[in-house]
A = this chain, B = another copy of it.
Amino acid sequence: MLPLAQFRQFIEQHQLFAKDDKVLLAVSGGKDSVLMLHLFKAIGVNVGVAHCNFNLRGEEAQRDEHFVKMLATSLDVPVHITHFDTKKYAAENKISTQMAARDLRYHWFEQIRSEHKYECIALAQHQNDAVETVLINLVRGTGISGLHGILPKRGKLIRPLLFLSRNEIETAVAENNIGFVEDSSNLSTNYTRNKLRLQVIPHLKEINPNLEKTFEENMARFAELESFLALQVQELADNLLIKRADGIYISLLDIAALRPQKLLLYELLKPFGFVEKVVDAILQRLTSPSGTHFFSASHQAIINRKDLIIAPQNTADHLNQFIHPSTANIRFGDDEIALTFSDELKFEAVANKAFVNADRLIFPLVLRNWQNGDKFIPLGMRHLKKVSDFFIDAKVPLHLKHTTPILVNGNGQIIWIAGMRQDNRYKLTATTEKVAIFELKK
């Protein structure tokens, strides 16, 4: 007998798809995917079959393709077949054959799904695959997110066979006289999985013959804990991460009060791509001077007085630069800005220099690109003006708007649109004691 009741229950429990959804089944012809096809047919779901011929195994691949075609036809199920030049794709993209097959396969499944209006794509992974995944993650190093195994549903991919172990699949196939081809096309069979499957897991099953079921329970617990952590971290992020124009602020005091500190800061910064080692470094350098930078692939984190500021490393923009009283020269893209101080109350009316009331400066200053919402009071005027309007009025070409350095005070006020106009609030007055001279050098 086919395990139909369990199959239905698993689909329902994880809400894999709705009653009338069309489901695309990935069928290699091996016993796992063939059993999946029979299960879907037996409970009357509207399905189609997708089969990839990777042209990697010559006649065997032809045999598998033929088998799947015949099987689908005999079950009156639409079948989609494709051929890939996997080796060529791998060579072109400098990836392994296995990775190439994976890329090609998922990309094509999604294409067929979307073209033929299937709701989701069903893959025949089972409990042993999930056990292997957990062990691989553990052996390679992981946090809690590596312990949930294979999820029954992720985006458009569903795994409706995760309630069965490999042995149970073999039994069901044998008992129901289900024909299949030997699964040498199993693309997930790589070195590490094979080693675990053949050399490790059999020993673990001697310790616990119910290993797959035990791991299923383990994984369910870890998935729950993972979702708990995610909820808590979301709440923490809502409370501690403050969005401002120039980045996301998190107070250093709040970071210092996190318990447990490393786990929570890591989880808070993970969405910005920061890895564990960098989070360690941030924690060790919380008392570093303003301007200390840390980087992820996509973002930077900057210690700025009482905050850690997280900002994208926008590839179009330049990195924000901090200017300290001791800064003499600072590069900003192709530009360079020099800072000198003077006690002499005089100025020159040239666009490439700003003569600024140094008494009003709050260091570190920030040198950054234009941001949406920027306003300043152009020298000689009395009211705030949008910088974008100023650019329009000054007929600044669009690309320059995004590269013009803008000098910003520690309180967020704009001091100078470098090379164009300084802010009225920072002009020299009769009472100015110290003059900061900024010079833009192209």
Q: Which residue of B lies closest to A199 (CB)?
A: B203
Contact with B along A246-270 (1 / 0, CB 8 A): 0000000000000110111000000
Q: Is the CB of A229 within 8 A of B225?
A: yes
Q: Is the CB of A208 within 8 A of B144?
A: no
Report the bound CA distance from A147 to B222 in whole Å: 11
Contacts A225-B229, A229-B228 hold; do A203 and B214 have CB atoms under 8 A apart? no
Q: Is the CB of B218 within 8 A of A141?
A: yes
- A144 touches which of B135, B144, B192 (Cβ 8 Å): B144
- A interface: dominant SS: helix
Q: Which of A114-151 contact B (CB under 8 A)?
A: 134-136, 138-144, 147
Q: Which residue of B lies closest to A146 (CB)?
A: B218
Report the minimum CB–CB distance from A225 to chain B (whole Å).
6
- Any B CB within 8 A of the CB of A224: yes
Q: Is the CB of B218 within 8 A of A142?
A: yes
Q: Which residue of B lies closest to A211 (CB)?
A: B139
Report the minimum CB–CB distance from A98 to chain B (whole Å).
16
Q: Is the CB of A228 within 8 A of B264?
A: yes
Find chain B residues with CB under 8 A from A221 CB. Answer: 142-144, 263
Contacts A200-B203, A203-B195, A203-B200 hold; do A224 and B140 have CB atoms under 8 A apart? no
Report the bound CA distance from A134 to B147 in whole Å: 13
- A227 touches which of B138, B200, B227, B260 (Cβ 8 Å): B260
Q: Which residue of B lies closest to A214 (CB)?
A: B141
Q: How many residues of A contact B (CB 8 A)?
A: 40
Q: Is the CB of B142 within 8 A of A224?
A: no
Q: Is the CB of A144 within 8 A of B222?
A: yes
Report the bound CA distance from A227 to B264 in whole Å: 11
Q: Is the CB of A231 within 8 A of B259?
A: yes
- Any B CB within 8 A of the CB of A232: yes
Find chain B residues with CB under 8 A from A264 CB. Answer: 228
Report the minimum CB–CB distance from A145 to chain B (whole Å).
10
- Any B CB within 8 A of the CB of A217: yes
Find chain B residues with CB under 8 A from A224 CB. Answer: 260, 262-263
Find chain B residues with CB under 8 A from A192 CB. Answer: 207
Report the minimum CB–CB distance from A203 to chain B (whole Å).
5
Report the minimum CB–CB distance from A213 to chain B (whole Å).
9
- Any B CB within 8 A of the CB of A204: yes
Report the minimum CB–CB distance from A73 to chain B (whole Å).
42
- Any B CB within 8 A of the CB of A206: yes
Report the bound CA distance from A376 to B185 in whole Å: 79
Q: Which of A174-226 contact B (CB under 8 A)?
A: 192, 195-196, 199-200, 203-204, 206-208, 211, 214-215, 217-218, 221-222, 224-225
Report the bound CA distance from A215 to B195 in whole Å: 19
Report the bound CA distance from A262 to B222 in whole Å: 12
Q: Is the CB of B143 within 8 A of A225?
A: yes
Q: Is the CB of B144 within 8 A of A207?
A: no
Report the minimum CB–CB distance from A171 to chain B (whole Å).
23
Report the bound CA distance from A211 to B144 in whole Å: 17
Q: Which residue of B lies closest to A216 (CB)?
A: B141
Extra inter-chain contacts (14) besides given A139-B211, A141-B208, A224-B260, CB under 8 Å: A134-B138, A139-B207, A140-B207, A142-B218, A142-B221, A143-B218, A143-B221, A143-B222, A144-B144, A195-B207, A196-B207, A199-B203, A225-B260, A231-B259
CB-defined A-B contacts under 8 Å, sample of 13: A138-B138, A138-B218, A139-B207, A141-B217, A143-B218, A143-B221, A192-B207, A195-B206, A196-B203, A221-B263, A224-B262, A225-B229, A227-B260
Nearest first, the 5 A-B pairs at minimum CB distance are A224-B263, A141-B214, A224-B260, A199-B203, A143-B221
